């Protein structure tokens, strides 16, 4: 079936890599990096492997206030000197080094100009989005905390498909997390595991979505 729409993640796909932003934040706030990674590995594993509910679930589906997430995470962290980490503004500092990946934006604009529909499907961490870019870029915007669902829950994918008015097989989904790609593919959506812009753009071109 012809692919008629591109659904894409935001963080790590339309932005510079998450790991780079986190490394910049850890260094700037002088946070014990190994302690952060130990905490986050456990939380992320639970969030995506079904190992129980933790603050990431609540942050992403909107049931946990971002300020409370900041408090919970800060309480688990220490600076390299062993001191406390400031909770207020923690999320903004974590993602402060995110920068747009212009080749990906250009590819989406080109696909849309060529007739494809486009949608954003993002798990929010209480971060700010460049919403001024969205009106001319996306036909639908699905942000997890605003709809009370999060990837990899199949319901959020079905919600995006409903907004686009298309069947799963008519869409391709771009994400940098394997669990989310697997969830999309289980519904019949084509998946592109994003590793770098060049490879993703080549796959879009191979699907005849780019001129």
Question: What does the pLDDT read at residue 29?
Answer: 96
What are the structure tokens assigned to 69, written together? 């997430």
Question: What does the pLDDT read at residue 65?
Answer: 95
Which regions of the chain are under pLDDT 70? 50-53
Kindly report the CA angle at 127 between 204 and 160, in degrees rounded to 5? 45
Question: What does the pLDDT read at residue 49?
Answer: 74
Tell me the sheet residues that pair with 31: 79
Question: What does the pLDDT read at residue 46?
Answer: 79
Secondary structure of the chain in the HEC alphabet?
CCCCEEEECCCCCCECCHHHHHHHHHHHCCECHHHHHHHHHHHHHHHHHCCCCCHHHHHHHCCCCHHHHHHHHHHHCCECCCCCCCCCCHHHHHCCCCCECHHHHHHHHHHHHCCCEEEEEECCCCCCCCHHHCCCCCCEEEEHHHHCCCCCCHHHHHHHHHHHCCCHHHEEEEECCHHHHHHHHHCCCEEEECCCHHHHHHHHHHCCCCC
CB 17 within 8 A of CB 24: no
Cα Rg, the chain, nearest whole Å = 18
* 17-63 residue pLDDT tens: 999 999 999 999 999 999 999 999 888 887 777 666 689 989 999 99
Q: How far is CA 120 from CA 70, 75, 92, 170, 171, in A?
A: 25, 32, 21, 16, 12
Quickly tell me which residue has 């790991």 as its tokens: 19
Quickly tell me which residue has 């639970």 as its tokens: 46
Question: What does the pLDDT read at residue 52?
Answer: 62
């Amino acid at each position: 079936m012809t692919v008629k729409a591109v659904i894409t993640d935001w963080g790590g796909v339309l932005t510079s890599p998450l790991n780079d932003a986190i490394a910049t934040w850890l260094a700037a706030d002088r946070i014990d990096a190994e302690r952060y990674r130990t905490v986050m590995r456990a939380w992320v594993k639970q969030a995506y492997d079904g190992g129980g509910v933790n603050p990431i679930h609540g942050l992403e589906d909107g049931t946990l206030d971002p300020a409370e997430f900041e408090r919970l995470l800060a309480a688990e962290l220490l600076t390299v000197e062993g001191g406390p980490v400031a909770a207020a503004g923690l999320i903004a500092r974590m993602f402060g080094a995110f920068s747009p990946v212009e080749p990906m934006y250009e590819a989406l604009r080109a696909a849309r100009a060529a007739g494809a529909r486009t949608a954003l499907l993002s798990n929010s961490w209480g971060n700010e989005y460049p919403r001024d870019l969205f009106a001319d870029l996306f036909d639908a915007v699905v942000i997890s905390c605003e709809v009370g669902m999060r990837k990899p829950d199949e319901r959020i994918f079905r919600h995006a498909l409903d907004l686009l008015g298309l069947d799963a097989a008519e869409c391709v989904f771009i994400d940098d997390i394997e669990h989310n790609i697997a969830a999309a593919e289980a519904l019949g959506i084509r998946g592109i595991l994003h590793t770098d812009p060049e490879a993703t753009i080549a796959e879009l071109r191979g699907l005849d979505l780019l001129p």
